[in-house]
Amino acid sequence: MSADPRARALLVLADGEVFEGEAAGAAQPVSTGELVFNTALSGYQEVLTDPSYAGQVVAFTYPHIGNYGVNREDDESPRVHCRGVVVRDLSSEPSSWRASETLESWLVRLEVPAVSGIDTRRLTRHLRDKGAMPCAFGTAGEATLRDAAAQALPTDGRDLVSEVTTAAPFVRGDGPRRVVAYDFGVKETMLRHLGRLATVTVVPASTPASDVLSLEPDGVFLSNGPGDPGALPGPTAAVADLVGKVPIFGICLGHQLLCSALGGSTYKLAFGHHGTNHPVQRLSDGAVEITSQNHNYAVTSVPGVDVTHVNLNDGVVEGVRCLSADAFGIQYHPEAGPGPHDARYLFSSFAEMLG
């Protein structure tokens, strides 16, 4: 049974920084995870149901969260995968004809702990200066939360994909082509886009390349997902076995695994890219796309590729195309719901590659 949703609560970071707030959602004495901030102004339901947040606690920089409630149509997966939610003001009166319940009642029903009333401006500045880090929050005393934060795990070196991938293959869409999609934490919006192009067989992350090729696909899609790509040698090896044998399109973690399979390396960003307003330049013509992003890791030093897109904020590689095979990857999210939609043309690019 959850605690009083407006009981006093604390958020304690692994470096000892303390923030005062109120318990919300399915409040618990102690909850832990790696704390990151997201700058999106809307789309909180899509963020919270995105499997890529497994192992993390999400702090929203926008001060009012829950304004338009929640509804089943906006879920990106059947459940919430993040470890908790941090907000400044949790709205109790949603204003939208689409709302089926409040954000807080939804969090309670799905057993997701939260903390509200946090000074998220100070918190965001701290994370920008110090980097994403483990945290603990809840109604327990400060000493207990300090101990929990000190012992909480970051995402480094952890295979979080195995926690979110499908247990068995399933089929989506009815498009004219055949695509196999690796589920590293795939979002429903991705499957809807792919389903217009192809009949999509979604397979577990551990599926070997030989099983994929036995399905005789026209192309392979590598989905988004949580955690450290360096902790996924099996999927990386499978992708390496597929390069040159079938067209490949990777998004976010899928992009990182494609680059790793091509001999590239990855590294962890200080506080990641999480939001819906990241400017990315398409190098072929100089056009700028406003993009949705959600990743803590990035790629560097990839041999045999053309870099096709770069982040204008910090120069991070946002897209590559393999020179020796039909394969390309994008670090950001062209499928993003609720948006922006500047990069949806990339699904058409994949369709052209499929023939």
pLDDT by residue (tens digit) across 20-35? Answer: 999 999 999 999 999 9
Q: What is the mean pLDDT of residues 46-54?
A: 97
Number of folded domains that form the chain: 2
pLDDT tens-digit map of 104-146: 999 999 999 999 999 999 999 999 999 999 999 999 999 999 9
Cross-strand pairs, 298: 267
pLDDT tens-digit map of 170-194: 999 999 999 999 999 999 999 999 9
Domain that holds residue 300: 161-354
Reply yes or no: is the peptide bond before residue 235 cis, omega within 30 of 0.
no
Q: Are residues 261 and 281 in the same domain?
A: yes
pTM of the model: 0.95
Q: Is 73 a catalytic residue?
A: no
Kindly report the CATH number assigned to the domain that includes residue 16: 3.50.30.20
Last residue of a domain, one of 104, 129, 151: 151
pLDDT band at 3 (very low <50, low <70, confident <90, very high): very low
Q: Is 335 a catalytic residue?
A: yes
Q: Are residues 116 and 181 in the same domain?
A: no
In a domain, 2, yes or no: no
Are the C-beta atoms of residues 219 and 248 closer than 8 Å to each other? yes
Show the tokens assigned to 231.
Answer: 């902790």
Q: Is 252 a catalytic residue?
A: yes
d(CA 77, CA 315): 31
Kindly report the CATH number assigned to the domain that includes residue 269: 3.40.50.880
Catalytic residue among 81, 193, 295, 333: 333
Q: What angle do CA 243, 246, 250 make, to 5 degrees?
A: 65
In a domain, 50, yes or no: yes
Q: What is the mean pLDDT of residues 154-179?
A: 96
Last residue of a domain, one of 127, 151, 175: 151
pLDDT tens-digit map of 197-251: 999 999 999 999 999 999 999 999 999 999 999 999 999 999 999 999 999 999 9
d(CA 223, CA 252): 7
Last residue of a domain, one of 151, 185, 218: 151
In a domain, 1, yes or no: no
Q: Are residues 204 and 317 in the same domain?
A: yes
Direct distance between the N- and C-terminal alpha carbons of the chain, in angstroms, rounded to an integer: 54
Catalytic residue among 82, 252, 259, 322: 252
The distance of Cα 261 from the centroid of its chain, to the nearest Å, equals 21
Q: How many residues make up the chain in this entry?
A: 355
The pLDDT, as a whole number, for residue 5 is 53
Burial label for 118, CB within 10 Å (0-12, 13-18, 19+), is: buried
